Structure 1
Amino acid sequence: MIYYSLPLKLGRLCEKKDHEHCSLKESISQHLYLIITTALGDCLYDETFGCSIWDSDFNNKINDSRLKEEIKSGLCLSIKNHENRLDNLEIEISFSQALIGVGENVTCMKKKLDLKVNGRLAQTDEPFAFSGYFFMGPLSYY
């Protein structure tokens, strides 16, 4: 089976050139990243595609343990619904504080969400692991 890497380069397809390929594990990782970085409701063709992380991004009234559980359950549901190449999902979430440089001497503190998704490939039963991190709160991306 052929898996295409993200982002899609539609110009290459219009020019009838081949698009870059990737492995099954890379394809799943890229798809998970797309699910995680998409807010629920952003995709017009499927409003369930995405992740509830971004619903909680500015919520300062919820404690971290409840926030972890909400993010974990929402992410688990979204991955189960949209990434059927994975089985036996296990999701770990942790929060930490990180200093972010803005300019030469100015720094700010951001809440950092560390995320690990482990599972097994449905086709081959091989182990699969994905990890990433995101900064939460206002102006948390560059």
Structure 2
Amino acid sequence: MPSPLYKKPFRLNQIFQGQDLEKQDVGASISQYIELIIFTRYGEHRYKPDFGCEIWDLDFELIISESMWEEKLRQSLLSSIKQHEQRIYDVQLDVRIKEVNKFYPLRNVSEIKKRVEIVVSGKMQQTGENYTFSTSLYLSPLSA
């Protein structure tokens, strides 16, 4: 019998009330782990310095070529996911930068932000089912 996959964040008050922690399926567990890889900077994990991705180093880098920046992040994420997330295979990754312009009429201010859209797809080891995960992050904002 496989060990249960617990939903994060843990609700410890459930244990104190005599209940079990919430469980989740494999797909949701993989998604949470991929999010952890995306949100962790290389060197941040004391015992696995190669865990994470390069987005935090690239965030403040001047983007001269968006396609080069996208490819650099894509390669970093792909390498980390293949190395650390063994529950999926045939991993494909798509990274796109989009500009988002938001105008605030009361303050007469316009904000231009860069949004990175990340899509990970592959197949789950356990079942062979297709797996897809997508998220988007905003990079350092510019105001005008």
- Shared fold (TM-score greater than 0.5)? yes
Pairing of 1:17-56 with structure 2 (within 5 A): 17-56=19-58
Moved more, 112-121 or 11-20: 11-20
The residue type paired with residue 72 of structure 1 is R
| Pairs aligned (count) | 139
- C-alpha distance in 1, partners of 2:12/2:46? 20
The residue type paired with residue 134 of structure 1 is L
Structure 2 gaps, min length 5? none
- C-alpha distance in 1, partners of 2:118/2:137? 8
* Partner SS, residue 21 of structure 1: coil
Contact 1:99 1:108 in 2 (8 A): yes
Shift of 1:15: 7.0
Moved more, 60-69 or 15-24: 15-24
- The CA RMSD measured in Å over matched residues stands at 2.3
For the pair shown, the structure with the greater C-alpha radius of gyration is 2
Matched with 2:120 is 117
Please give the TM-score of this superposition, normalised by the length of structure 2.
0.85
Contact 2:111 2:141 in 1 (8 A): no
Matched with 1:95 is 97
Structure 1 gaps, min length 5? none
Identity %: 32
